[in-house]
Amino acid sequence: AQSVTQLGSHVSVSEGALVLLRCNYSSSVPPYLFWYVQYPNQGLQLLLKYTTGATLVKGINGFEAEFKKSETSFHLTKPSAHMSDAAEYFCAVTGSGGSNYKLTFGKGTLLTVNP
């Protein structure tokens, strides 16, 4: 079974500041990890994913995340926040074995960017 914990339901940063959204996971099998973004009244859009290989993953819109197995973490970062980054962000996990087709999501983190 898998689970995801996102620390901080609401994060507020100033435009140009570092964005750090935290995600910790629990998985009984090697995980596949994802970050999705949701803008108001829209579906989810994939930012980046980790499956295997390099543990530092780069995604769209300048975001990146690092898979740290020892810390069971997959935190999302962006060096400089832009007003257009304001949205809700979801960390999700699936398992690598068997019929692990479903995404298990965290509760989400609402990112506010202040001018």
- Which residues are near another protein by CB under 8 A? 32, 34, 36, 41-46, 49, 51-52, 90, 92, 94-96, 99-108
Rounded to a whole number of angstroms, the minimum distance from the CB of residue 8 to another protein is 14
Q: How far apart are CA 6 and CA 105, in angstroms?
A: 9
Minimum gap (Å) between residue 18 Cβ and another protein: 26
Nearest-10 Cα torsion for 9, 14, 18, 20: 0
Q: How far apart are CA 18 and CA 5, in angstroms?
A: 21
Distance (Å, rounded) from C-alpha 43 to C-alpha 24?
Answer: 23
Smallest separation, CB 28 to another protein (Å): 13
When the beta carbons of 32 and 113 are compared against another protein, the nearer one is 32
Q: Which is nearer to another protein, 2 or 73 (CB)?
A: 2
